[in-house]
Amino acid sequence: MSLQHIIASTGELVSFCNPSSFPSPNVPGTNISNIIAEPVLNFSGEAPWYYNFNNPGITVANATFCNVTVTYDHPGQNDLTAIRAYLPISSPAWNGRFQAVGGGGWVAGMGEVSFLQMIGALGNGYATITTDASLANPLGEADSWAMVSEGNVNLYKLQNLASVSLRDEALIGKSLIHSFYGKAPQYSYWSGCSQGGRQGMQLAQRYPGLYDGIAASAPAVNWAKSVAAIFWPQLVINQLLGGTKPADCEVNRLTALAIETCDGLDGIVDGIVSDIALCEETFNAFDYVGTSFTCASTNQSTSVSRGAAVFANATWQGPRTADGRFLWHGLNIGAPITDAVNVGNRQAIGAEWLRLFVKKNSTFDVNSMTLDEYEWLFHRGVAEYDSIIGTSDANLREFKRRNGKLMTFHGLWDQTLPTKATEDYFDRVSEMTGAEAADFARLFVVPGLYHCAGGPGGQPTALFSALTNWVENGTAPDTVPISFIDQNNTTNERILCPHPSRAVWDGTGPTSKASSFYCTER
């Protein structure tokens, strides 16, 4: 160990934070073009709970860290890539661990949400890293990089997003840590949600030895299917409703009626539907066509149209062929499904996938698709890209053999990615590995939670700490705590249970106490 590393043990690493301290990381197939390193002194910032996925919110005050940016490419691929690392020096000091963070949508990392997650990791003493996967698209759109020319997808950049940048990021991050602190991290972790969840799943599948623990939440597994399915609600409007979008008031009214009908099925009236399967058997949107109500946004009396029922029912069922055959899972009853067609960046991801990657035509009008064409593009996307970015491989035996641990949460009211797709993936993992699956991989579904954050059901902010406890102490998480404030302003402490079990009220204890709940399979 060098004199500088001996000094480093006392926390005086500021002078060591310069480019000359970092030899080029040895990553097969890459050419490191530049390393920038500069100390950041007395940094203060906040990682709010709703973006610090898998963790509680945290405020960082007067931190000092080494800010390192590495740029590199894969020769011949025209894919200049940037990686950013924060290496803690003091307030807090390095905890001996490494945490990489994921992106969202078409952003692999190096965006606002990734930087907030890095602040969260930094605040807990982790050396942390993010990558732009060569995409350099902070606004989250794919048009700038998806094609090299009309009809030709930029497969190098797609595979960077899919997997290659994840390997590079881990190897470069570990190299930077060893150069700066004089030793390798004791434990390495991944944390992300949505695209970050898919990235975590890809790491477990394709690079099972890079991380000891992976928190991969609300993951876009089965990418080609799940992303094509994002466009389905708009296609319902275009093809089944003749282009006439039902009023949000009417769709929201159906969602509210469904919640009202199904809320008490679990024995508790708290504004949250916990048993989706039973709700699907109980509630029928068409039973409420023609019923009157007052629209909150207009304060006028109106009624539920048949179009609203068609839209809601089709969105809950999920993509189907013109003759009604299953293509993919739908969103759950209770999710704010008007977001699927009103929030532009949600719908855009599905539209960009079909237009740029599957159709390979930047001017293709996705709103002109028929049901038959959608079915063909749906299958074509799976056939063409599943081996690149599908992230659907349930064979995690090697990840298990290397003692890796995988934890996932997914909100039952996710309005972007279907919870059932993640449940299906974990079911296939269990089928492949048998009862041993729970020894290394656990999914926790969250009643009342939207996509990654938001909703009345609370945020699972203890998932990452449960993961580290599992990795480092061997304590498997039989439950994960969660809390939320209900419509009566009462704080409710509950538990989440590993799929396929669910938390059930014991029927006697106070419903605001976690001790009144136990795990059971339906």
Tell me which residues are annotated as active site: 194, 414, 451
Q: Please, which contacts does 492-499 make with residues 24 or more away whose CB atoms are closer than 8 Å?
A: 492/270, 492/458, 494/458, 495/519, 496/409, 496/444, 496/445, 496/446, 496/460, 497/444, 498/438, 498/442, 498/443, 498/444, 499/423, 499/426, 499/442, 499/443, 499/444, 499/445
**Residues 433, 397 contacting (CB under 8 angstroms):** yes
Cβ contacts of residue 169 below 8 Å, gap of 6+?
83, 100, 109, 129, 130, 131
Give me 171's structure tokens: 């190897």
Closest by CA to 211, choosing from 51, 101, 83, is 101
From 106, 189, 139, select the one nearest 467 (Cα to Cα): 189
**Pick from 391, 464, 381, 383: nearest CA to 425:** 391
> CA 371, CA 322: separation in Å to the nearest integer?
5
What DSSP element (H or E) covers 206?
helix 195-206
Question: Six-digit token pair at 498?
Answer: 């590993």
User: Can you state the angle between helices 165-181 and 195-206, rounded to 10 degrees?
Assistant: 80
Angle at 407 between CA 266 and CA 45, to 5 degrees: 100
Q: Say if CB 164 and CB 132 are below 8 A apart.
A: no
> Any idea what DSSP says for residue 93?
P
Q: Report the run of H or E that residue 97 belongs to, with start and end.
A: strand 97-101
365 exposed, middle or buried (CB, 10 Å; 0-12, 13-18, 19+)? exposed
Query: What CA–CA distances, in Å, run from 200 to 156, 221, 446?
Result: 20, 10, 19
CA–CA distance, 499 with 492 (Å, rounded to integer): 21
Give Cα 468 to chain centroid, integer Å. 19
For 53, the token pair is 């996925």
Distance from C-alpha of 303 to C-alpha of 294, rounded to nearest angstrom: 8
